[in-house]
């Protein structure tokens, strides 16, 4: 009897036979106590008795797979005589249970750049029905975006969710994946769950240095703290992987300062002297604070700063004193001596005139 049969259904039973007549013949039937069936004894036109099982409470295979009843036939003799027969009822499964997930939401975390095939989560559902009605197939919900299907694969038999494509934290930090479990019944039952997959950042991006302004040339008499260049740094990674520090090579009269996160100012730190260094090629290096910092993930930028000459040097003669002997009778206009003076300054500042 199917568990889907409604209450009130009747099932005729085979009649007992008694060759006696009158009161000594078959008079009634009795049924052993049970929670589902009652017995209805009917009388035919010829006076013979027969019985029908009447379903009073619907069957539930998941609660009880089978029932064993005892039907007793009684005559009216004194003393009465009886006969017994076993009634074995198999409760046939109906697809009256939908699959059920053991939790409605699963949470998992996976590092970006994780190799394909890595297990992310395993979902699990059960179905109390029997046979195909209880066999479960897992799949993505119909409204799952194509991008999710490209990045993740779901085993329809085991419920294992694995990495399929290339995960990128900088592109998407969290995926909300809707999955379903469906049984194989003629009218399948369906259950739904979601998996929240957090993508964990990996230090896979190098900092980038962008020079926004350069003020060059710089006068050699510029005061310490004079702004030479403005620059910014970016790193697509997060947390410490995206925390960037900038520095320049030591031993040069410049410094970096920062008043806002990821924004830096290149300033003069000491006195400049064009006569010692007319140009500086400054390398700005940015490194993140990842653990460990990616060796290849340091960004650099080159800034060329020219030093503008200031007339800060006086001409100097080759000698402080010149001595010359002049013969008498030397004609007017004769060259007696050539003196030489030099000025390390540049351009007009370094041109000398004699008087």
Alpha-carbon gap, residue 97 to 191, rounded angstroms? 10
Percent of the chain with pLDDT over 90: 57
With respect to residue 1, please indicate whether it lies within any of the assigned structural domains: no
Residue at a domain's end among 40, 58, 90: 90
With respect to residue 125, please indicate whether it lies within any of the assigned structural domains: yes
Tokens of 15: 């009649």
Query: CA-based diameter of the chain, in Å?
Result: 189
For the chain, the domain total comes to 4
- Bridge partners, 190 (sequence order): 182
pLDDT: which is higher, 193 or 311: 193
Three-state secondary-structure class, residue 247: strand
Alpha-carbon gap, residue 345 to 315, rounded angstroms? 9
pLDDT score at 104:
95
Q: Degrees (nearest 5) of the Cα angle 163, 168, 170? A: 155
For residue 43, what is the enclosing H or E element? strand 37-43
pLDDT score at 204:
79
Taking residues 1-14, report their average pLDDT.
91
Percent of the chain with pLDDT over 70: 98
Question: Which residue from 97, 37, 92 is spatially nearest to 61, judged by alpha carbons?
Answer: 92
Claim to verify: residue 127 and residue 191 sit in the same structural domain: yes
Alpha-carbon gap, residue 210 to 16, rounded angstroms? 101
Question: Which residue from 240, 249, 242, 253 is spatially nearest to 285, judged by alpha carbons?
Answer: 249
Residue at a domain's end among 200, 216, 231: 200
Alpha-carbon gap, residue 221 to 268, rounded angstroms? 11
Is it the case that residue 88 has pLDDT exceeding 80?
yes
Alpha-carbon gap, residue 335 to 340, rounded angstroms? 14
With respect to residue 5, please indicate whether it lies within any of the assigned structural domains: no
Claim to verify: residue 117 and residue 179 sit in the same structural domain: yes
**What is the secondary structure of 264-293 as a DSSP string?**
EEEEE-S---TTT-SEEEEEEEEEE--SSP
With respect to residue 3, please indicate whether it lies within any of the assigned structural domains: no
Is it the case that residue 290 has pLDDT exceeding 90?
no
Claim to verify: residue 263 and residue 352 sit in the same structural domain: no
- Residue-wise pLDDT for 38-47, tens only, equals 999 998 887 8
- Residue-wise pLDDT for 168-221, tens only, equals 998 999 999 999 999 998 889 999 999 999 999 888 778 889 999 999 899 989
Residue at a domain's end among 148, 168, 200: 200
Taking residues 231-235, report their average pLDDT.
91
11: exposed, middle or buried (C-beta count within 10 Å: 0-12, 13-18, 19+)? middle
Cβ–Cβ under 8 Å, residues 41 and 51: yes
pLDDT score at 270:
87
pLDDT score at 186:
86
CATH code of 85's domain: 2.60.40.60
pLDDT score at 264:
94
pLDDT: which is higher, 129 or 259: 129
Task: Read off the pLDDT band of 308 (50, 70, 90).
Answer: confident
Which residues form the domain of 63?
10-90
pLDDT score at 38:
96
Tokens of 126: 């059960």
Claim to verify: residue 109 and residue 189 sit in the same structural domain: yes
């Amino acid at each position: 009897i199917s568990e889907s049969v409604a209450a009130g259904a009747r099932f005729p039973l085979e009649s007992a036979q008694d060759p006696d007549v009158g009161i000594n013949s078959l008079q009634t039937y009795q049924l052993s106590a049970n929670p589902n069936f009652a017995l209805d004894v009917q009388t035919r036109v010829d006076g013979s008795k027969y019985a029908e099982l009447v379903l009073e409470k619907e069957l539930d295979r998941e609660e009880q797979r089978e029932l064993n009843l005892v039907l007793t036939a009684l005559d009216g003799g004194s003393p009465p005589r009886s006969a017994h027969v076993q009634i074995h009822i198999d409760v046939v499964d109906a697809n009256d249970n939908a699959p059920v997930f053991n939790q409605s939401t699963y949470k998992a975390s996976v590092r970006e750049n994780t190799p394909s095939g890595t297990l992310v989560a395993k979902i699990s559902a059960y179905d109390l029905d029997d046979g195909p009605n209880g066999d479960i197939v897992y799949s993505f919900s119909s409204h799952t975006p194509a991008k999710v299907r490209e990045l993740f694969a779901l085993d329809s038999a085991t419920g294992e969710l694995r990495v399929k494509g290339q995960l990128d934290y900088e592109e998407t930090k969290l995926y909300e994946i809707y999955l379903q479990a469906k049984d194989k019944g003629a009218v399948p039952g369906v259950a739904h769950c979601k998996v929240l997959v957090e993508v964990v950042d990996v230090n896979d991006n190098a900092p980038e240095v962008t020079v926004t302004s350069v003020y060059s040339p710089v006068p050699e008499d510029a005061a310490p703290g004079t702004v030479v260049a403005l620059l910014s740094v970016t790193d697509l990674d997060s947390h410490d992987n995206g925390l960037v520090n900038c520095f320049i090579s030591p031993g040069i009269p410049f410094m970096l300062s920062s008043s806002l996160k990821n924004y830096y100012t290149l300033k003069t730190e000491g006195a400049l002297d064009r006569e010692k260094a007319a140009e500086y090629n400054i390398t700005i290096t940015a490194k993140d604070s990842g653990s460990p910092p990616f060796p290849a993930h340091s960004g650099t930028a080159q800034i060329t700063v020219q030093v503008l000459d200031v007339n800060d040097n006086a001409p100097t003669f080759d000698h402080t004193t010149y001595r010359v002997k002049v013969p008498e009778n030397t004609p007017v206009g004769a060259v007696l001596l050539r003196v030489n003076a030099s000025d390390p300054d540049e351009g007009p500042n370094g041109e000398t005139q004699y008087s």
